[in-house]
A and B are shown apart, each in its own frame.
Chain A
Amino acid sequence: MGKYWNEEMECMEPEKMRALQDERLVKQVRHVWDNVPYYRAKMEEKGLTPDDIKGVEDLHKLPFLSKADLRDAYPFGLLAKPLSECVRIHSTSGTTGKRVVAFYTQNDIDLWNDCTARAITAAGGTKDDVLQVCYGYGLFTGGAGLDGGSHKVGCLTLPMSSGNTERQIQFMEDLGATIICCTPSYAAYIGETLKKMGKSPDDLKLKSGIFGAEPWTEEMRQEIEKSLGIKAYDIYGLTETSGPGVAFECECQKGMHINEDNFIPEIIDPDTGEPLPDGTKGELVFTSITKEAFPLLRYRTRDICVLTRGKCACGRTLVKMAKPMGRSDDMLIIRGVNVFPSQIETVLLKHSNASPNYQIVVGRENNNDTFEIRVELTEEMLGDTIRSIEEIERKIAGDMHTVLGIKAKIRLVEPNSIPRSEGKAKRVIDTRNLV
């Protein structure tokens, strides 16, 4: 097995890829028009028919889909195939409201597995590897996605799911796992546990890891690589488009290759919806051009990132996306600096196994922004001395400064003291009157 899973698609000449996308897009728009009344009405509202879409150059004419549409259309409103032809569903965690349920035909699953097989191959996986999936199995796409790709590549697959970390490590050791797949925060935790168990990476055969499903920093990558003695690869995806494998990292570790033969990416201005040129920071939008059951056109991911074209040193020609820099919907500007709650979450995850509830309080004093982050204390943060708690506040404040670029006052508060609406804490209190 070579270094590519699907060399034809991964290394295709850009002109040829564009022609393939044109053809697939035209077909997909017709499929959606014929089978999804919800989207057809949106097109009609704009005075569009499938004949108006002749290729990728017409993509910008199509209406967007957002998470709100998915909730409106729940559960079957965006389904484009009869249920009798669907073989599986997956679902989002539903923390921002009603769940999103995505449907798959067998062909959808096969194409998705092909995408994750590319990611596994890019991380050095072959049929001789032992791949441990420590993503959750179930409604979450993580477990099933990597599991499917692993089977396709022919790795011996260890379907561990998440949790029971000591057992994970035992299996890794006993069965000689060479690749692991999980969330980056869990990978970091496995690394810590390994150390606590008095073991070192030398006791394991791991060579690489594929990590995604949550934001993580370059600093976290280095820590994981060190604590597990591996090379750590990023993977990107969302339930709405399929799951992990929409984009994946190669050995260059400089951005993730988007599987453009299945998903056409666009970068738009989140405020105006206008497409932005490559290399510009904006909101990432995906159009699924091969999915049959749940084919979303122009789905707004709310992830802010940058696309880069050009042949990669790895030989792939697939367009690359940068690690998402945050979300278009919850960005704050504090003292002139863009702050994304996802960055704050990343820092807090370093100090606690589970992401603690927190609240950002922004105000204005003497023409200066005040910035406080209230963090609900978790058991592992609590000690029996004032000093130990102040030390944690100090450490979190230091890490926040490094990641955000501005200083924040960290204040630990009691568990469940941050008011919640619909079970989710209210994240931001901004008392500045800036308009």
Chain B
Amino acid sequence: MSIKQLSIFAENRPGRLNNITHLLAVNGINIRAMSVADTKDFGILRLIVNDADKAVDALKEGGCAVTVSKVLAIQIPDRPGGLAAAMQVLYDNNVSVEYMYSAFISEKSEEAYLILRADSNEAAEQAFDGRYKLLTQEELLTK
């Protein structure tokens, strides 16, 4: 039940984010979630988009270094303690989070989405099974 995340390598110099977002814009790609991890010299832009395959083609065509990895998109209640409860589930099941960030996917005010990569995505999936809804790649297309 994992979804595709794009990781794009970007050097720390003016115009890089402009270039990447422009490539996505002209190809009609909708960004559903993003996060940036950065160092002194470079950053990795992580993106969840509506059409991952098309976005990868467009970015490669545009000369970007891009790779695809699997992450989980979980639906959590948008209220105090909503995230804490989800983390508790992972902790109880001995799953560590490598990184996570929030998403723009939700159309209802009472729910939020969280993008998450665990040390074992499979273990995380099992832990969430029956408790939380995980988004599929197909659902992402229509969101």
Do A and B truly interact?
yes
Q: How many residues from B make CB contacts under 8 Å with A?
A: 22
Cβ of A378: which chain B residues have Cβ within 8 Å of it?
65
With an 8 A cutoff between CB atoms, is B69 at the interface? Answer: yes
Whether A384 lies near B46 (C-beta < 8 A) is yes
Cβ of B9: which chain A residues have Cβ within 8 Å of it?
377, 382, 389, 412, 414
Whether B11 lies near A414 (C-beta < 8 A) is yes
Q: Which of A377, A384, A386, A390 contacts B69 (CB 8 A)?
A: A384
Whether B11 lies near A382 (C-beta < 8 A) is no
A359-383, CB under 8 A of B: which get 1 and which 0? Answer: 0000000000000000001110011
Closest chain-B Cβ to A259's Cβ sits at a distance in Å of 45
Main secondary structure of the interface of B (DSSP, over half): strand
With an 8 A cutoff between CB atoms, is B67 at the interface? Answer: yes
B68-98, CB under 8 A of A: which get 1 and which 0? Answer: 0100000000000000000000000000001
Cβ of A384: which chain B residues have Cβ within 8 Å of it?
5, 7, 44, 46, 67, 69, 117
- Which of B35-43, B106-114, B128-136 binds A? B35-43
Q: Which of B11, B39, B46 contacts A417 (CB 8 A)?
A: B11
With an 8 A cutoff between CB atoms, is A431 at the interface? Answer: no
Closest chain-B Cβ to A153's Cβ sits at a distance in Å of 45
With an 8 A cutoff between CB atoms, is B52 at the interface? Answer: no
Determine the distance from Cα of A389 to Cα of B9 in the docked complex, in whole angstroms.
Answer: 10
Determine the distance from Cα of A377 to Cα of B41 in the docked complex, in whole angstroms.
Answer: 13
B19 (CB) vs chain A CBs: closest residue? A414
Whether B7 lies near A382 (C-beta < 8 A) is yes
Closest chain-B Cβ to A234's Cβ sits at a distance in Å of 34
Whether A390 lies near B37 (C-beta < 8 A) is no
Q: What interface size band does chain A fall in?
A: 10 to 19
Cβ of B140: which chain A residues have Cβ within 8 Å of it?
none
With an 8 A cutoff between CB atoms, is A416 at the interface? Answer: yes
Q: Which of A385, A412, A415, A416 contacts B42 (CB 8 A)?
A: A412
With an 8 A cutoff between CB atoms, is A42 at the interface? Answer: no
With an 8 A cutoff between CB atoms, is A413 at the interface? Answer: yes
Determine the distance from Cα of A384 to Cα of B64 in the docked complex, in whole angstroms.
Answer: 14
Whether B44 lies near A385 (C-beta < 8 A) is yes
Closest chain-A Cβ to B60's Cβ sits at a distance in Å of 9
Main secondary structure of the interface of A (DSSP, over half): loop
With an 8 A cutoff between CB atoms, is A31 at the interface? Answer: no
- In B1-28, which residues have CB < 8 Å from any A CB? 5, 7, 9-11, 16
Determine the distance from Cα of A184 to Cα of B16 in the docked complex, in whole angstroms.
Answer: 37
With an 8 A cutoff between CB atoms, is A411 at the interface? Answer: yes
Whether A389 lies near B64 (C-beta < 8 A) is no
Whether A415 lies near B67 (C-beta < 8 A) is no
A382 (CB) vs chain B CBs: closest residue? B67
Q: A384-B44, A384-B69 are in contact. Are A413 and B11 (CB under 8 A)?
A: yes
Whether A414 lies near B98 (C-beta < 8 A) is no
Closest chain-A Cβ to B12's Cβ sits at a distance in Å of 11
Cβ of B41: which chain A residues have Cβ within 8 Å of it?
411
Whether A382 lies near B65 (C-beta < 8 A) is yes
B53-72, CB under 8 A of A: which get 1 and which 0? Answer: 00000000001111101000
Q: A384-B44, A384-B117, A385-B44 are in contact. Are A415 and B65 (CB under 8 A)?
A: yes
With an 8 A cutoff between CB atoms, is B104 at the interface? Answer: no
Determine the distance from Cα of A412 to Cα of B65 in the docked complex, in whole angstroms.
Answer: 11
The 5 listed contacts between A and B (C-beta, < 8 Å) are A382-B9, A383-B7, A384-B67, A386-B44, A412-B42
| Extra inter-chain contacts (10) besides given A379-B67, A415-B63, A417-B11, CB under 8 Å | A378-B65, A379-B65, A379-B66, A382-B65, A384-B67, A385-B44, A385-B99, A386-B38, A412-B9, A414-B10
Give chain B's interface residues, CB within 8 Å of chain A.
Answer: 5, 7, 9-11, 16, 37-39, 41-42, 44, 46, 63-67, 69, 98-99, 117
Closest 4 interchain pairs by CB? Answer: A384-B7, A382-B67, A384-B69, A377-B65
Give chain A's interface residues, CB within 8 Å of chain B.
Answer: 377-379, 382-386, 389-390, 411-417
